[in-house]
Chain A
Amino acid sequence: MKKIQLVKIAHARSGDKGDTANVGVIALKPEYYEILKEQLTAEKVKDHFGSNVKGKVERFEMPNIGALNFLLHNALGGGGTLTLKHDAQGKVVSANILRMQVEVPDDWEIK
């Protein structure tokens, strides 16, 4: 197995619901979904975000579109118009999650 950055095999979009950010991580090819499902556990995602996410992380599976949806609780500095964060609506959490590392088989050719 070799380590690569998640951005090589997935794309994402994120948004807000109050103080919770949601981020959907979508496999770029159907065969990548199993990697996401096995390796992107709620716990690992919580670790990756560190102090950015004060609350728990929930994970939901969407095998039909090869995606995982994460809810990052207490992640937006209060959310809405309350927050003092530049990314008030969690719009770029999508990019942040794609910095994670995943392991893929050595013979996978990924550009």
Chain B
Amino acid sequence: MKKFIRIASGQGYWGDRFDAPIDQVKEGPIDYLVMDYLAEVTMSIMQKQKSRDPHLGYAKDFIPLMETLLPLLVEKKVTLITNAGGVNPVGCMLAVREIAERMGYTGLKIAAVYGDDILNQLDTLIASGNSLKNMETDADLSTVRKQVTSANVYFGARPVVEALKQGAQVIVTGRVTDTGISLAPMIHEFGWSWDDWDKLATGVIGGHINECGAQGSGGNFFAGWQAVPNMERIGFPIIEAYPDGHLVVTKHESLGGLVSEQTIKEQLVYELGNPAEYITPDCIADFTTIQLQQEAPNRVKVFGIKGKPDTPFYKVSISYFDGYTSIGMLTYTWPDALQKAQKADEIIRKRLEYLGLKYEDIHTEFLGYNACGGDTAPSINDPNEVVLHIGVRGKNFRDMNKFSREVIPLVLTGPPTVTGFGGGRPKVREVIAYWPALLNKNTVEPKVLTVEVI
């Protein structure tokens, strides 16, 4: 057994810094590279792409990235685990195989983890007694059934561990949890048992530190952003995992960023609910047991973690079409910037009323004044400029377009010293709403398909 393994975060979300994964492989030793691509809205976009072309439905720009990354992975013997497979992991795996074949990497094994996509099984599942009620509102799925655009189960580390057992060096998955892709290599390498809850919870917390990329290593760092070195080439986190169930968070020395108890604490609380019950498909992790200790510059030991058994359910992420939003912005300047922006808001609202247009919601904020702070922001006198930020939400596309036509005319018809309209009419965007639900674990089975490059 290895004394420890290094699991490097290569991407915090789809659209993150493109060369971060390349730097993680190039700039120092790592054993695994993990990359997160998926958010709720992403699955819906991918389903749309797949419905137009059955070969698509995965993160398209992952393929050109593999042209650069794959030779490095092979040279440095690094295993890649990513959920770039979206709603078509097998298609994604085949596209990677094509590159590997062209490059002549005979013997390389590539795996797809799938079975999480239950969009086509929804009615069968409901008919056989799985209500898929909304976890937050308790509403019945039938209320939005026709608008559903994607439905995926969150798998944990299990199928990824299976793919690792089969010898895969590149693993593309569908909806596997962000924490599962970091936990899987630990279970595989150290042979942790599936009921060793404390160790599994430790791996999950390592995954939580990795899952947002540089947010775990000095990015978006409130307590000391001024002192974070070289943010233009910030080093993403690397989790050194040890068989006894402790971790050291670190980063490559040659890259920027900062790994300190404070940067880790900020990431630990990110998107956290009840800290004692961090529920994943693999276990429940107790964040109130985490101990941190800075053992050297840019090295923080994470230990003492307790876990509890997993629940009988998978979380399901369902997305559905729920109308449109449109947000317009106009910039008003001194003198009386705020009063001008307020007047413009009043005019737009009166115009909508005059035109007989009604929306589910209309909302105004003043950027530069109190948009981000709301009631917590103290008032300021005579700002140099204020941006009017006005949005509406509704189901009727034509009415949404009519709102969009009402913003820019203010430039010639409303208060003076207004600018910042160069982007033209506000866009009308689709609302893809999120429906969280639970599904009994025995109703779906993860699948693993491994192919060898010939």
Interface residues of B in 196-252 (CB under 8 A from A): 220, 222-223
A84, B262: Cβ atoms under 8 Å?
Answer: no
Distance, CA A24 to CA B33, complexed state (A):
28
Whether A17 contacts B433 in the complex (CB less than 8 A), given A50-B376, A78-B361, A86-B367, comes out as no
- Pairs A–B under 8 Å by Cβ, sample size 20: A11-B222, A13-B267, A13-B270, A18-B434, A24-B266, A26-B223, A26-B266, A60-B274, A62-B288, A63-B288, A64-B291, A71-B273, A80-B433, A81-B431, A81-B432, A81-B433, A82-B325, A82-B431, A84-B362, A84-B391
B270, A24: Cβ atoms under 8 Å?
Answer: yes
Min C-beta distance of B264 to chain A, whole Å: 8
Distance, CA A84 to CA B359, complexed state (A):
12
A15, B270: Cβ atoms under 8 Å?
Answer: yes
A15, B392: Cβ atoms under 8 Å?
Answer: no
Distance, CA A17 to CA B269, complexed state (A):
13
Q: Is the interface of B mostly helix, strand, loop or mixed?
A: mixed
B376, A13: Cβ atoms under 8 Å?
Answer: no
Residues of A within 8 Å of B365, CB to CB, are: 85-86
B53 at the interface (CB under 8 A from A): no
Residues of B within 8 Å of A61, CB to CB, are: 288
Min C-beta distance of A105 to chain B, whole Å: 22
Closest A residue by C-beta to B429: A81
B433, A16: Cβ atoms under 8 Å?
Answer: no
Closest B residue by C-beta to A25: B269
Residues of A within 8 Å of B40, CB to CB, are: 80
Residues of B within 8 Å of A24, CB to CB, are: 265-266, 268-270, 272
How would residues 22 to 55 of chain A score, 1 for a CB under 8 Å from any chain B CB and 0 otherwise? 1110101000000000000000000011111000
A64, B273: Cβ atoms under 8 Å?
Answer: no
Distance, CA A61 to CA B430, complexed state (A):
39
B275 at the interface (CB under 8 A from A): yes
Residues of B within 8 Å of A52, CB to CB, are: 374-376
Interface residues of B in 101-129 (CB under 8 A from A): none
Other than A24-B265, A69-B275, give 4 A-B pairs with Cβ distance below 8 A. Answer: A15-B271, A26-B262, A85-B363, A87-B372
A64, B372: Cβ atoms under 8 Å?
Answer: no
Closest A residue by C-beta to B212: A15
**Contact-residue size bin, chain B (C-beta under 8 Å from the other chain):** 35 or more
Min C-beta distance of A34 to chain B, whole Å: 17
State the B residues within 8 Å of A (CB).
40-41, 136, 220, 222-223, 262, 265-276, 287-292, 322, 325, 327, 361-363, 365, 367, 371-378, 389, 391-393, 429-434, 436
Distance, CA A83 to CA B378, complexed state (A):
24
A50, B266: Cβ atoms under 8 Å?
Answer: no
Distance, CA A45 to CA B139, complexed state (A):
30
Whether A51 contacts B375 in the complex (CB less than 8 A), given A81-B41, A86-B389, comes out as yes
Residues of B within 8 Å of A18, CB to CB, are: 136, 434, 436
B222, A94: Cβ atoms under 8 Å?
Answer: yes
Distance, CA A65 to CA B433, complexed state (A):
34
A92 at the interface (CB under 8 A from B): yes
Min C-beta distance of B69 to chain A, whole Å: 29
A92, B222: Cβ atoms under 8 Å?
Answer: no
Residues of B within 8 Å of A16, CB to CB, are: 271
Min C-beta distance of A93 to chain B, whole Å: 9
Whether A60 contacts B275 in the complex (CB less than 8 A), given A11-B266, A84-B393, A85-B363, comes out as yes
A102 at the interface (CB under 8 A from B): no
Whether A65 contacts B434 in the complex (CB less than 8 A), given A52-B376, A84-B392, comes out as no
Closest A residue by C-beta to B304: A64
Closest A residue by C-beta to B41: A81
Min C-beta distance of B371 to chain A, whole Å: 5
Min C-beta distance of A14 to chain B, whole Å: 8
Min C-beta distance of B38 to chain A, whole Å: 15
Interface centre among A18, A22, A94, A95 (most CB of B within 10 A): A18
Min C-beta distance of B266 to chain A, whole Å: 4
Residues of A within 8 Å of B378, CB to CB, are: 99
Min C-beta distance of B246 to chain A, whole Å: 15
Residues of A within 8 Å of B267, CB to CB, are: 13
Interface centre among B269, B374, B377, B436 (most CB of A within 10 A): B269
Partner of A86, one of B289, B325, B361, B372: B372
Min C-beta distance of A110 to chain B, whole Å: 14
Distance, CA A86 to CA B329, complexed state (A):
11
Distance, CA A21 to CA B431, complexed state (A):
19
Distance, CA A64 to CA B289, complexed state (A):
6
